Amino acid sequence: MTVLPLTTTARIPGGRGAKTGIAGPAALAAAAAAGPGGGSAWAPPAAASDAELLAVELLQAGLPVRVVTELPVEIENHLPIVQVVETPGGGQIVPAHDTAVIDYDGYAATRATAKQIAAQCRQILLGAAGHMSADGQMWVNRVVEMRRPTLLYYDDASDIRRFGGSVRLNIRYR
């Protein structure tokens, strides 16, 4: 296992000698790429939305409705629909292990349908431990429910109903 440095030394232009400080993302990525003895090692994922995409993949496979990360314009013409969003609260546990808080919201024309969709999302996501992503680069190590599906108000003037919940996914990268 590669241990990444928490500090780095660099020469600052115009400065008086080398400076030591907390390593930024570029320094950590370079250290990970170099690995011990210059070999290759794990590198952090390029996009912060990897957890969102993994949740979309899981839900699309198990739901008969469209699953998105961005709601379409004129949502009322696309019902029922599920939105998946990664929210603050996750982070890196150790290299190659992340935790992500995922909100899922089911939108529908009726309260009963929105509630049923959110319940299906909950069931799929809570059963995701052990799931490998389609590209084989991520797998879900553990799932913890943060908030069970509840009624969430969308727009009082519309006939759209929304139920949603949250899970925390522990993800391991290859």
Q: 171 or 22: which carries more pLDDT confidence?
A: 171
> Which residue range forms the structural domain that includes residue 104?
50-173
Same domain, 55 and 32: no
Same domain, 102 and 162: yes
Same domain, 28 and 93: no
Same domain, 30 and 107: no
Phi-psi sector, 38: left (phi>0), alpha (psi -120 to 50), beta: left
Q: In this structure, is residue 2 part of a structural domain?
A: no
Whether 170 has a pLDDT exceeding 90, the answer reads: yes
Q: In this structure, is residue 109 part of a structural domain?
A: yes
Q: List CB contacts of 9: < 8 A, sequence separation 6 or more.
A: 18, 19, 20
Q: In this structure, is residue 153 part of a structural domain?
A: yes
Domains contained in the chain, number: 2
Q: In this structure, is residue 44 part of a structural domain?
A: no
Please compute the mean of the pLDDT values over residues 42-51 and round it to a whole number: 51
Tokens of 71: 């709601």
Distance (Å, whole) CA 168 – CA 174: 19
Same domain, 84 and 106: yes
Whether 151 has a pLDDT exceeding 80, the answer reads: yes
Percent of the chain with pLDDT over 90: 56
pLDDT of residue 49: 57
Identify the residue whose tokens are 């680069």. 137
Beta strands in 25-110 (DSSP E): 66-68, 81-94, 97-108
